[in-house]
Chain A
Amino acid sequence: MASLSQPEFFYLVLIGSGGMLLLVVGIATFITLYQKRILQEQERKRLLELEFQQKMIQTQLDTQEKDSIRIAADLHDSLGSLLWGAKLNAAFMGRSFEMEGEVKESYDALVDILDQSIHAVKRIAWELTPEAFHHSGLSQSLATLCARFNGKGLRVEFNEAGESFLWNDNRALSVYRIIQELVSNTIKHSEASRLEVDLFWTPGILFVKVSDNGKGFILTEKRGGVGWWNINHRSKQLKALIEIGDIPMGQGSEISLRIPLQHAK
């Protein structure tokens, strides 16, 4: 093979290194491009997943709400009415026969049981879904809620301040559900004797404080429950800020919510 002259050698080096450079640049570009697309794709997938998750949660919450309404309506219309029918028949019997002694006692007990059952049905149905929430609005429904739990060794107080208004949309219902969950948590676990629900309305933001004098949040809470799932996701949806704190020395707990009002008034 012939040896190379200097210019030939020069071109050789030029072409060789040029080609090499081109290849390296090509590879680098390709990989960079690829990585970028991968990242974009991952981001897209993440967003999709997030959206999907949000939708799932929304559906779940909606289903819960619908189920509550359905069950409450069923309780009222079937069980309630049937118990009422039983009571009417009992009343008829009471008026038709003169009863004495144990028979009378048993009959009275029967009527009493029927009464209690009817009231239990009404109570359960009401707890499932507050009747006429959309008519009464948040404040009114909360006042009723607190009034219902008041008594039996527990004082439940409801206070509100600021410019309140009839807030009755689905977001309001979510707020109601959160507070209902907090209140029933307190009643179930905290051994408190006082419970306070405070609303403070400001333009654009509603502040909620649920406080009690029980054994404190940290001691009472198993945070994994369905109740907490609900509270968390509902506040997330409301874009609400939830703050959970124990009052020092086991003097109860205090949970604050800061809920943006989307269209105040």
Chain B
Amino acid sequence: MDLPIIISHFSSGSVLVPLGIFIFKRFRIVKDLAPLIVLLIVSLLCDLSSFIIIRYSVNTYPLVNFYLFTQFSVFYYLFFNYLKRAAILKWIFIFFCGFYTVNISFFQGPFQFNSVTNVFASIILMALSLYYLFTLLKELPTATIHRLPILWISFAALGYYGGNFFLFLFSNYLTKSIDGSLAILWVLHNILNVIKNILFAIGLWQAYHNPNSSI
């Protein structure tokens, strides 16, 4: 088997790590992190379905676009909660949804990778996670910061979207002009995905073991 394929499987399988913890903890849901569990399940289902439909040479991009939107919403919702549900965040989300709808309906369409909206999603989530980390440094809510699940989720968001920002930004250009670049793109994305899932797993683990540590 080819290396990109292995990494792709690896990436798809990595979601099983946090999900495994969830199962290991007998499907108990930590209150704040319910959206995360939803995301993990959606991720698993999407990967499984794309695994199936790719055999019938059907375009998987609608699935990818759907998945990325779900992921954005989940991250956004988590930060929204932890940032005390600031009103402006609501408006940004509504605005983004409008933008997304317009893009998927009139510009890039569902059958190709929605790079424009995803670049914006990356910027928004990077900003949110950085802002959240900054508030942590300012407010110093706990002496044992590594026990805070949202800290690991922030790192996941930062790492994942920070890396993907460039990938999304150049994706359309690269895939059109350079041969084989699509493969590199997806390999990098998959690596980021693995890292994200591992960080999720750490966060989830902390959430189960320090039930009082969420702020």
Contact = CB atoms under 8 A, between A and B. Distances in A.
A150 B129 CA distance: 78
B3 to A, nearest CB: 6
Contacts of B191: 16, 19-20
Interface of B: 2-5, 8, 133, 136-137, 140, 143, 145-146, 155, 158-159, 162-163, 179-180, 182-184, 186-188, 191-192, 195
B55 to A, nearest CB: 14
Contacts of A15: 188
21 contacts: A1-B4, A1-B182, A3-B4, A4-B2, A4-B3, A4-B183, A12-B184, A15-B188, A19-B191, A19-B192, A23-B158, A23-B159, A23-B195, A26-B158, A27-B155, A30-B155, A33-B137, A34-B137, A35-B145, A38-B143, A42-B143
Contacts of A2: 179-180, 182-183
A31 B151 CA distance: 10
A2 B183 CA distance: 7
A4 B4 contact: yes
A5 B146 CA distance: 40
A37 interface: yes
Interface of A: 1-5, 8-9, 11-12, 15-16, 19-20, 23, 26-27, 30-31, 33-35, 37-38, 41-42
Contacts of B158: 23, 26
A41 B188 contact: no
B180 A8 contact: yes
Nearest to B156: A23
Contact of A1 (B137, B143, B186): B186
Does more than half of chain B's interface fall in helix, strand or loop, or is it mixed?
Answer: helix
A113 B191 CA distance: 100
Contact of A9 (B3, B137, B195): B3
Given A31-B145, A41-B140, A3 B2 contact: yes
Given A30-B133, A34-B136, A38-B143, A1 B188 contact: no
Contacts of A31: 145-146
Nearest to B148: A34
B184 A8 contact: yes
B196 to A, nearest CB: 10
**Nearest 9 CB-CB pairings of A with B:** A23-B159, A34-B145, A2-B180, A3-B2, A16-B191, A2-B183, A1-B4, A38-B143, A1-B183
Nearest to A23: B159
Contacts of A30: 133, 137, 155
Given A4-B4, A20-B191, A27-B155, 9 more contacts: A1-B2, A2-B183, A8-B180, A16-B191, A23-B159, A26-B159, A31-B146, A34-B136, A34-B145
A8 B180 CA distance: 9
A8 B64 CA distance: 25
